[in-house]
Structure 1
C-alpha cells in the first residue's frame, strides 16, 4: 500500500497538537476512515520498530498489546474518526515483542485529494512525554514567577526572552529587549564588561558565575545598583551553542552591608592602630604628628593639625575664639611628596581666621565642619580673602572636613582631613572615625599640656630649693651640677648641699627623693631645709638620718629617699660617712688612685626599722670626693657595675679644674635625653695642701 504524503493541513494539525512537542520525539501515523494505516513515518518506525512495509494497510488496532484490552484504543480512534480530537494512553506492542506505553493524540483531517477523512495519530513514549511535560511546566513557572531576573539570548547576545523580574530590574518591557543587545538598551551599566563575560561562556562552554553588573537602569535612574549575573551556554543535541541563559540578582543591599562591615573592620583596625601609635610621648607636637601620620592614607590623603596659639605658647586655654581663631600649625602629613601639603601653611606658622571662617565655626560649635563637594561654588565666599581654596581645588581636593580636638570639655585645636583620590566624599562612618582619632589625640595633647605645666612647675620649684650660692669653709673647694630630666621625663627630687660648721668642718650631703613631679620636688625641698637645720646642731650623721626619716613619716603620703652624708675635716682629711641606700661616694687621691669608698649601703630613708651606721675614713690631703645621684650611673642598656667602672676610669685623670671635671663626667656618662635627674657634687679636701 502506498504511503500517503503529508500536506500543509497535516503539518498544521501537527503543530496544533501541542506547543511543546518539538522537544519530544513524536511518531506521526495516518489512517483512512476504515482504520487502515496509510502513513507511517520514520519516527513511528524508531518508536515501535516496524517498517512501513510491515504496517501499511493493517488496522491500527493491530499494533496494540495482544493481551491488553483493545477497546480503549478502538474508542479513541473511533472518536477521532467521527470528528473529535481525542487524547489518551494505550499499550502498544513493539516489534521486538515487548509492551510499550504510549500517549497518543488523534484528530480528523479532511482528505483533500480523495475526499473522506484521514485520522492523524501522534504517538510518543508515555514516560518521556510525562518527563518533558513536567520540565516544561517547571520551566514556565520558574520563568514567569521567579524573583530572579532571567533572560535567554542568542549567539549574537541579542535578547530572545526575558521574564517579568528582569523587566522590573531594567525598567524596560520584554518588547524593548527582544532583538537588541545589552549595550543598546542599558548604556548606564557596565554592559561591555558583561558582554565579555557572556561571550566567554559561549566560547568556552563553562558557566560564568557572579559577574557583577553595576550602574543605573530606568527602573531607578537616580541610584547606583549592583547585580550578580551568571551565564550558561545553551546547546543543541550535538553540543553546538545555540544561545545563552542569563540570571541576574540585585545584591545592592548585601553589597552595601558588606562594604559597611568591611569599612567597620578597617575603622576598628585604624582605631586600634591609633591607640598604639598616638600618644607615645608627652610631647604636644609629636602627638599631633602621630595623629596626622595614622590618618594618612587610610582616611585621608593629606592631614593637618592645628592647636590654639595659647596652648602652643604654654598659656591659659580659652582665649583665641573671641572674634576669630588664632592657631598654630603643629603637624601635617605627608610631610613631603604631596603638592597639596606644599601649598598648606608650614609647621610652626601662626594662622589667624575670622569669626565666620570654617576653622572658627568648627571650634566654636565643637563639631565637625564637612565640605562633601569642594567646588567653585563652595569656595566662592572665601575667594576674596585667600587664594588657598582655589589652589587646593586646582590640585584635586574634592572633599575635606575639620574635626575639633576636644578633651575634658576643652577645645584644644582641630585636625583637617583632605581627600584627593577618587573615592567619593567622606561618609558618616568616616566622619565618626575622624572624631574617634581626634578624641584620642586630644586626650594625649591635653595630657601633654598638663604634664608640661606640672613639669615646668616642678622644675621651677626644684631649682628654687637647690642652694643658689654655696660657700664652703676654708680648705675645701667644691663644684656642682644639676641636670633635670629631659622634656619627655618628669622632674625628680635630686638635691645636694654644702654646709659649713663653726669649727671649720663641712657637711657634704646629696639625696634623691624617689618619685617624680611636683610632689617629689616639694619633699626634696622639705628634706633639704631640714638637713641644713640639723647640720648646724652638730648632730652625728646617723642621728641626722633618724631625724630625716621621722620627717618623712610625718608626711600625709610617706615617701622614700636615698641620702649620703659626709662630715669632712679639711685640716686632717678625716671623713665620717653615713649612707642610706645611696650610690657609694668615690675618692680620688692626689696620686690618681680612684676607689669607691667601702661604706655600708643601708636602706633608703622611710623604710624604717634598720639602724644607720657611720664609717670613718681619712683621706690624703688634696683628695677629691665625688658624690652623685643614680641618674649619673644607671642606664637601661648597661650593667650598674660597668657604669661605675666607667665613672672611676674618667676620674683617674680629673684635671686641674673641678667645674671642667663635672662637665666631662656629664658629657661622657649622660645621653642626650636623660631618663632621670642628675645631681653631682665634687669637693677637694684641704686645697692648700
Structure 2
C-alpha cells in the first residue's frame, strides 16, 4: 500500500533513518563458479558469517549450510545454473557456531575468464537476526562505498536518496546529480518507465524483483547500448511500512553480448545447414530462387525477393544483360501473398526493367552487398526517379533493407533483397554476413542449374540433329520410331536408331545406347550412327559389323561403352539375321497376336575389345512386328528387370495395334514419369500378313 504520510514527511524520515537502512540492505555478495565453488567473497559476507576470504575461497558453497538446508541450497544453485533467477532460505553455520538464517537472492552472471556460468548471490540476514543486532551494524557503512556492485536507495517517490561510487561510475553521473531526482531526470537514455514500473510493483507487493534486465545508454558510455541486471528490494520500517527501494545493479553487457553472439552463431550455422538441404534441391533455376525466399522468411527477414538477370533463364551469358541496364526475372518471393508489403512487389515470373544508372542496377554492377539499416524518405529518394515502389513500401512500414548480389564463378546472376517491416530491430552487419552466405550458396545452385540446362539443351539439339528425320524402309516393310529424352532433372543420353536400305528387299535395322550422358555421349552416338551406315552398305554379316564397330569404339579420343542391336531383314523371305552387343533383346509380335522376346546371344557392350559376336537367323510369319528399344523403356528404379520385360511382352500381346500406335502405347504405359533415361523405339512390320493388301512404300511410313 502507498505510504499515507505526506511526501515531505516521508523524505525527512528517509534521511533520518538512512543509516539504519544499511543494516538490512541485501548487498553481501559472493560469487560461485559453474561447479558451485566460491570464487569471490565480499567483505560484507564475512561480516554476516564471520569467515575470511582465505577460509572459504575454493570451497563448495554447501559446506557452510546446515544438513537440513542443503537440499534447498542445491535446488537454488541448480536453478541458477540453468539460467534462471531464484530465491531461497536456508540455515548457515556462523564461524562462532551459531546459526544464521539466510534469505538468498541469486541470478546467473558470467565470470570473466571462467568456463561455464557463474552465480552471483546477494545474501541478507534473517529479519530477526537483523533486529537482534540493530544496536550495532549488520553491515559496515564502509562496505556500501567500497562495493563493486552499483547500489542505490530510492524513496517511495522513486527519487534517489543515496548511490555508491560504483553506480556513479556506471552511470557517468556524480552522486550529487542523482540525489532527490527521478531516474528519467538522471538517465534519459534508459527505459525509465519500465524500470519505475518494476520498482512500484516491489513497493506495492513487497516481493523482491531479481535480475530485471534493462538496456540503454548512459553518459559513461554514450555511444553504445549497455545491459544491466537490476535487483530491487523493498525497505520497511519497524512497523512494516515501506520506506523505499534498495537497488543492486550489475553491468552484464559483456555477458549479454557473449550470449547474443553465441545465439547468433548458432542461428547462422542452423540456417546455413538447412540451406544446404533446402536450397538447390533440384536443377531448376526458378525453384531454387523460391527456396531461398522461403528459407529466410521469417527467420532473417519479413519479405524477401530473388531476381536473376533474364539472360540466366534464357541460357545466355549473364553479363550480357548489364550493358544497357538490368532486365531481371523474379524467381522467388516470400510471402507470396497475404502481406500488405509483399502484395506491392512484383509477382514471381514478372520481368523487371531498370536503367543502368538506377540504384537497383548499380547494386549488380558494384557486386557488393548493400545494407540500409534505416529506410527513410531521404534514403529512397535516389530510386524515386525510376520507380515508386521503394517509397510505397517505406510508407507501409519497411524500415530496414539489404540487397545482396547473387555471384557464382565470377558472374553476377542477380540479386536477393531482404526487407524488415514487422520485426522492429534493424538489420546489422551480422545479418548482412548471413544473407551473403545464403546468397552465395543459392547463386552456385542457380548457376549449376543454368549450366546444366545449357548443356542439356545443346546435347539434345546435337542428338536430335543426328537422329534420322524420316528413315526410308524398303518395299514390304512398314516402320515407326520415336525418341523421348530424359526429363529435365536427368541428362541427355546417347540413345539412337537408324534404318538403312541395303537392297530393294533388304534393310538394316539398328538401335543403340551410348553409356554416359551429356554432349560427349551425344557426339559419340553420332559417330556410331555414321560408322554403322557406312558398314551397312558393305552388306557385312551382323557379327562382323559389330566387330568392326567394337574396334572403332576403342579408337575414340574419349572411349565409351555402348550397347547395340543390329538386324538385317529380308522382306521377301521374312527372315532376319541378328547380332547383339549387350543390348536388351528384341520382341516380336506374330500376326496371331502372340508376343515374345527373341532368345539371342547377349554379347558384350562395344568398346570392351576381345569379344566374339554371334549372328542368329530367325524366320517370321509374314506381317510380324519386330520391336527394338533401349533400356530406358524397361528399366525403372525399384523394379525387377525380368518383371518389366514380362510387362512389355504382356502389353505387346494385347494391343493389336500397328507400328505407329504401338510406339505411343509403349511410352505411355511403360516409361517412368519423370523419365529417368532416354528412350528410343524402332518398330518394323516384316512383310504383309497373308490375305492383306501389300502397303505402298512411302505412304506407309510412319515416323516421329
- Which range, TM-score by smaller chain? 0.7 to 0.9
Residues 396 and 187 (structure 1), Cα distance of their counterparts in 2 relative to 1, 3 Å cut: same
TM-aligned CA distance change 1:163 to 1:634, over 3 Å: same
**CA apart distance, 1:588:** 0.9
In the alignment, what sits opposite 1:431?
Answer: 432
Please state how far the C-alpha of 1:175 moved relative to its aligned partner. 4.1
Under a length normalisation based on structure 2, what TM-score does the superposition of the two structures give?
0.74
Q: Report if the CA contact (8 A) 1:475-1:688 is conserved.
A: no
After superposing the two structures, state which structure 1 stretch, 263-272 or 625-634, moved more.
Answer: 263-272
Partner of 1:346 in structure 2? 347
- 8 Å CA contact 2:22–2:139 kept in 1: the answer is no
Q: How does 1:545-560 map to 2 (within 5 A)?
A: 545-560=546-561
1:627 lines up with 2:621 in the alignment: no
CA distance in 2, matches of 1:165, 1:383: 52
Does the aligned pair in 2 maintain the 1:191–1:213 contact within 8 Å? no
Which residue of 2 is the match for residue 392 of structure 1? 393
Q: Aligned residue for 1:474?
A: 475
DSSP 3-state at the match of 2:431 = helix
- State the distance in 1 between where 2:504 and 2:381 align: 85
Contact 2:581 2:606 (C-alpha < 8 Å) held by counterparts: yes
608-617 vs 279-288, which deviates more?
A: 608-617
Show the counterpart of 2:603. Answer: 602
User: Is 1:653 matched with 2:657?
Assistant: no
Structure 1 stretches lacking a partner, 5+ long: 1-14, 24-127
Radius of gyration: which is bigger? Answer: 1
Separation in 2, partners of 1:134, 1:607: 107
Aligned to 2:682: 681
Contact 2:21 2:235 in 1 (8 A): no
SS in 2 for 1:319: helix
TM-align CA RMSD? 3.1
Contact 2:296–2:304 (CA under 8 A) maintained in structure 1: yes
Q: Specify the alignment match of 1:325 in structure 2.
A: 326
Secondary structure in 2 matching 1:653:
helix
The residue number in structure 2 matching 1:271 is 272
Structural mapping, 1:68-79, within 5 Å: none
Unaligned runs of 5+ in 2: 1-15, 25-128, 691-704
**For the structure 1 residues 405 and 271, does the alpha-carbon distance in structure 2 shift closer, same or farther, using more than 3 Å as the test?**
same
Contact 1:201 1:231 in 2 (8 A): yes
Relative to structure 1, the CA distance from residue 217 to residue 276 in structure 2 (aligned partners, 3 Å threshold; closer, same or farther) is same
In 2, distance between residues paired with 1:566 and 1:582? 12
CA distance in 2, matches of 1:603, 1:204: 92
CA contact (8 A) 2:302 2:423 kept: no
How far did 1:482 drift?
A: 0.6
Partner Cα separation in structure 2 for residue 600 and residue 350 of structure 1: 58
- Aligned pair count? 567
Distance (Å, rounded) in 1 between the aligned partners of 2:500 and 2:157: 107
**Residue 339 of structure 1: how far off its partner (Å):** 2.1
> Contact 1:358–1:369 (CA<8 Å) still a contact in 2?
no
Alignment of structure 1 residues 142-161 onto 2, 5 Å: 142-153=143-154, 159-161=160-162
Please give the alpha-carbon distance, in whole angstroms, between the structure 1 residues aligned to 2:140 and 2:662: 101
Structure 1 segment 205-604 matched on structure 2, within 5 A: 207-232=208-233, 244-502=245-503, 504-604=505-605
Deviation at 1:458, TM superposition (A): 0.8
Question: 1:149, CA displacement in angstroms?
Answer: 0.4
Note the C-alpha offset of 1:631.
1.0
**Distance (whole Å) between structure 2 residues aligned to residue 629 and residue 644 of structure 1:** 12
Matches of 1:512 and 1:674, distance apart in 2? 16
Q: 1:649 deviation in Å?
A: 2.5
Which structure has more RCO (C-alpha within 8 Å, separation ≥ 6)?
Answer: 2
Q: Comparing 314-323 with 385-394, which one deviates more in the overlay?
A: 314-323
Distance 1:143 1:231, change over 3 A: same
What TM-score, normalized to structure 1? 0.76
> Residue 603 of structure 1: CA displacement?
2.4
Q: Distance in 2 between matches of 1:681 and 1:358?
A: 58
Q: Is the 8 A contact 2:23 2:137 kept in 1?
A: no
Q: Could you list the per-position Cα deviations for residues 467-502 of structure 1 after superposition, in whole angstroms to 9, with x for gaps in the alignment?
A: 122111222111000111122221100001122222
